[in-house]
Structure 1
Amino acid sequence: MNLLEYLNQNYLMLVPALWVLGFALKQTPAIPNWMIIWVLLFVSITVGSLTFGFSYEGLINGITAAGVAVLGHQMVKQALLGSGSRKK
């Protein structure tokens, strides 16, 4: 299943922007890790809706863009850490 097939091409620019924002939030001690996904989701929906219009499709694409960004980050993180990060 390729999530990018479900994401409108206009929203593709949000994915790397969300990665950068997520990295910045991760470096900010005042933001707990659990809150980062919610901030990214809010920003994605807000920016997408303001840029491409308030609609059901805009909402779904905002959610999908945030999901692709988080999933992509986790895939890279898990691939780089590999099995060395397993708890014993």
Structure 2
Amino acid sequence: MMEEILRYVKPELIVVALVLYLLGQGIKQSQTIKDKYIPLINGAAGIILCGIYIFAVSETDTVQKAAMAVFSAMTQGILVAGLSTYINQLIKQWGKPD
């Protein structure tokens, strides 16, 4: 499954998944926000972080290019948020006894 996700994530944005994993762990440790909101926060943060990167490296001089940048930021953000959740589940499963 991870190979399928990685096929669609831009290699330079994989590090965002690690950042989102750490963000989620920090939120969980703080206990100020309910766990059920962590995926939503990670999704929004992923879209914002990927958006910053994509807009920094893309030409957005036409409406079509700007729309494509927004679409790419949203899809990449959602994918890296999903990847961070997958990483979290892998760590949890490896910690469980067989």
TM-score by length of 2: 0.77
Amino acid at match of 1:32: K
Count of residues in Structure 1 that have an aligned counterpart in Structure 2? 83
Q: CA deviation at 1:18?
A: 0.8
Aligned with 1:14 (options 13, 16, 24): 16
Separation in 2 of the partners of 1:78 and 1:14? 22
Change (3 A) 1:21 1:82: same
In the alignment, is the contact (CA less than 8 A) between 2:54 and 2:72 conserved in 1? no
Q: Which has the higher helix share?
A: 2
Separation in 1 of the partners of 2:53 and 2:72? 13
In the alignment, is the contact (CA less than 8 A) between 2:14 and 2:80 conserved in 1? yes
Aligned to 2:41: 39
Separation in 1 of the partners of 2:52 and 2:17? 16
Amino acid at match of 2:7: E
Instruction: Supply the RMSD in Å over aligned alpha carbons.
Output: 1.3
Which of these two proteins has the greater Rg computed from alpha carbons?
2
Gaps of 5+ in 2: 56-68
Aligned to 1:25: 27
% same residue: 22
Aligned structure 1 segments of 4 or more residues deviating by more than 6 angstroms: none
Aligned to 1:61: 76
